[in-house]
Chains A and B, each alone.
Chain A
């Protein structure tokens, strides 16, 4: 891939991707650039805030409402989990149960439980349960990733 950076007197940074054919890789690259340093609009007790994606620990749906958890705070977001899955990078954010999406970059430990689920301990010490179905998927991704390395 050829990367060219031009320094010009422009008002807004513009990224142009020139490719022979638009495939999945290109679409992922587009999404990555689009979400680079992106923020999610969330509601807290003090009002509307823009939370950086990299700060998010996990999302959770409770009673049809979606909440966003950071290290110390909880916010409410207007989007549903499936909508969030579409805009977030699938290599950082993993579905871990029917009601939760986790940012793997903030997970500190994974512990297997007797019922074949996993308990993820986050960097802030919070523990979240990864359901049986999704824990198998996460284990597979981690193992495949280590084989590539």
Chain B
């Protein structure tokens, strides 16, 4: 039950986070390119994309639905899910209706490369945290064995 609650909390928070950032980026882009307004349709598409990303993230990274999967397994699932979602989103906004231009493909692979780099950074942090945890457990085990030998 706690995991389910956690998953829903993450879904809410991540949706809000992604949507806020993407909207902000869209406003900056509109300002730079001197666009007077943003259409409701674009904002809605953006919201759907944010919500689907957040849904995938919260399902994959909590134990509410996927009980047993390693952290790396979860990262891989997230990458595969997000690439599919990104392709869908690009089709929806009309970027992939034709073969696309070089810039469009560069944007697509650029996002994947940034995400992959981000995953490696996340793994680096996770790995250091786990190293401390396992080394702590190892030290405890050695102390326990030492005590057993003394007794």
Residues in chain A near residue B135, CB distance under 8 A: 108-110
Q: Assess the A112–B127 pair: CB atoms within 8 A.
A: yes
Q: Assess the B140–A112 pair: CB atoms within 8 A.
A: no
User: In the complex, which of the residues A92, A107, A114, A148 contacts B138, with contact meaning CB atoms closer than 8 Å?
Assistant: A107
Chain A, residues 2-32, CB within 8 Å of chain B (1/0): the string is 0000000000000000000000000000000
Chain B interface, >50% SS class: helix
Q: Give bound CA distance, A61 to B37, whole Å.
A: 71
Name which residue of chain A comes closest to B70, CB basis. Answer: A116
Q: Assess the B134–A118 pair: CB atoms within 8 A.
A: yes
Give, as a whole number of angstroms, the nearest-CB distance from B77 to chain A. Answer: 14
Say yes or no: A145-B131 contact (C-beta < 8 A), given A114-B123, A116-B70. Answer: no
Name which residue of chain A comes closest to B127, CB basis. Answer: A112
Within 8 A of B (CB), among A79-126: 91-92, 104-105, 107-116, 118
Q: Give bound CA distance, A92 to B141, whole Å.
A: 10
Within 8 A of A (CB), among B11-54: none
Chain B, residues 94-110, CB within 8 Å of chain A (1/0): the string is 00000000000000000
A142 on the interface (CB 8 Å rule)? yes
Q: How many residues of B contact A (CB 8 A)?
A: 17
Within 8 A of A (CB), among B67-121: 70, 72
User: In the complex, which of the residues B131, B137, B142, B148 contacts A112, with contact meaning CB atoms closer than 8 Å?
Assistant: B131
Q: List 26 A-B contacts (CB under 8 A).
A: A91-B145, A91-B148, A92-B145, A104-B141, A104-B142, A107-B138, A109-B135, A109-B138, A110-B135, A110-B138, A111-B131, A111-B134, A112-B130, A113-B127, A114-B72, A114-B123, A114-B127, A115-B72, A116-B72, A139-B134, A142-B138, A143-B137, A145-B137, A145-B140, A145-B144, A146-B140
